[in-house]
Amino acid sequence: MFKAIIFDYNGVLVNDLRIHEEAYYRAGKDLGIPLARETLRKYQSYSHAQKRKLLCGSISDARWKEISAVKDKIYFDLAEKTNLLFPAVETVLMALSVRYMLALASNTRREYFKRIFPRNLATLFQEKIFSDDIRYPKPSPDPLLKTMERLGMGRDECCYVGDSVLDVQMAKRAGIKVFSVATGDNSQQELRAAAADWVVDNLSELKAKLEAGA
């Protein structure tokens, strides 16, 4: 029986994947660095530090810092104008927090969560691990292993909720069950092919499966 549920952030709780993509695209265009949307989407689930090499190769520290600053400004200008929460996020988190310990393990940076996610819901997570908190982000199992260590939970007591193939890979390497929510860039077929334990359409379906003893 699960005692803790560990969530991904982007594509699961907040619908901001296209905003990240747009911000990188505009930053590259403003600075004369062509970044194809197809490439940005392909590496969407990787951390900001991982994207440096995947998107720009051997770019200098100064140039990457410049891109990052422009990208961040564009992202927050876009993101702070709208409610990015997926439908039912508040309802689902409030309900699950009564029965389970909740935690977060994400490849996003802590600043993004602190500035965008509602504070009343942020307090429901007893532990939060971001890419700038750990040396090896997903698909390494380290974010989940560190989260479980902090929660004092074993592999059989936790499950992970993610939206990408990268999330499935991390959970499998950490040895825990994974629910894949098909609200990100990977299709249900891709998530099943990656060997997700359960694939659901949305968080409300996740809640129903947990209540039914999935």
Residue 161's DSSP bridge partners are 7, 179
Put simply, whether the predicted model's pTM sits higher than 0.85 gets the answer: yes
- Note the pLDDT of residue 214: 65
pLDDT at site 190: 96
Torsion 73-66-132-57 (CA) sign: positive
Supply the pLDDT for residue 212.
84
Nearest 5°: CA angle at 185, between 114 and 173? 80
- Sequence ranges of the chain with CATH classification 1.10.150: 17-79
CATH (one of 3.40.50.720, 3.40.50.1580, 3.40.1180.10, 3.40.50.1000) for 4-14+85-211: 3.40.50.1000
Q: What is the mean pLDDT of each run of 10 residues along the chain (214 residues)?
A: 95 96 95 91 90 90 94 94 92 96 96 95 97 92 96 96 96 97 93 96 94 78
What contacts 24+ positions apart, CB below 8 Å, involve 16-22? Answer: 16/75, 16/79, 16/84, 16/116, 17/44, 17/184, 17/185, 19/75, 19/78, 19/79, 19/84, 20/44, 20/75, 22/74, 22/78
Which pLDDT score is estimated for 144? 97
Q: What is the CATH number of domain 17-79?
A: 1.10.150
CA distances from 94 to 65, 97, 114, 125, 177 (A): 38, 5, 19, 11, 22
Q: What is the DSSP string of 85-111?
A: BPTTHHHHHHHHHHHSEEEEE-SS-HH
